[in-house]
Amino acid sequence: MGTTYTVRIASTPHEISAPQLRVVIDEELQRVDAAMSGYRADSEISRFNASSSTEWFAVSAPLAEVVRAALDISEQSQGAFDVTVAPLVELWGFGPGGEAPAELPDSRAIAAAREHTGYTRLHIRSQPAALRKEIPTLAVDLNGIAPGFAVDLIARRFDDLGVADYM
């Protein structure tokens, strides 16, 4: 997901080793990365972004769950949080393969990029899980929410294993 992480565990049950916990962490991170990473061309979200279709696009239930949460936050924040911000992220040189622009984007470039954004243009359904965009160029950037989802999944697994006092 284009970031680093550190896990700290104060104590573990005696029957669980550090290598076993590493496997748990890696499994969850790989699962989230395969679905939600904008840094992988083969991830579910990257395939959705690459599609120019405005028809329903089948996705996994976890991806739909995260997008639903993101859209809820977008509503609550009146668009201050918007997962369709990918064109602006790219314009400013952030994100996968991004390089800082030689010059800051001008107001026309920003306005043009904003024409391809808008959380209200992204739709979700649960059964079967799918996403749909109203405009072919809409792209989703989950980097503002997917890492937290991954942390929640790891925490659930740790709790199930009886691991306490972790960060």
Determine the pLDDT at residue 155: 95
Give the residues across from 58 on adjacent strands: 130
Determine the pLDDT at residue 1: 67
In a 3-state reduction of DSSP, which class is residue 11?
Answer: strand
Q: Report how far apart, in Å, the C-alpha atoms of 7 and of each of 65, 79, 147, 162 are.
A: 24, 32, 13, 16
Which residues make Cβ contacts (< 8 Å) with residue 118, sequence separation at least 6? Answer: 82, 84, 138
Compute the average pLDDT of residues 47-66: 97
Percent of the chain with pLDDT over 90: 75
pLDDT tens-digit map of 93-152: 887 766 777 888 899 999 999 999 999 999 999 999 999 999 999 999 999 999 999 999
Determine the pLDDT at residue 152: 95
Handedness of CA 33, 150, 155, 123 (dihedral sign): negative
Comparison of pLDDT for 14 and 2, the residue scoring more: 14
Contact between residue 34 and residue 44 where contact means Cβ atoms under 8 Å apart? yes
Compute and round to an integer the Cα radius of gyration of the chain.
18
**Statement: residue 12 has pLDDT above 90:** no
Determine the pLDDT at residue 101: 76
Determine the pLDDT at residue 66: 97
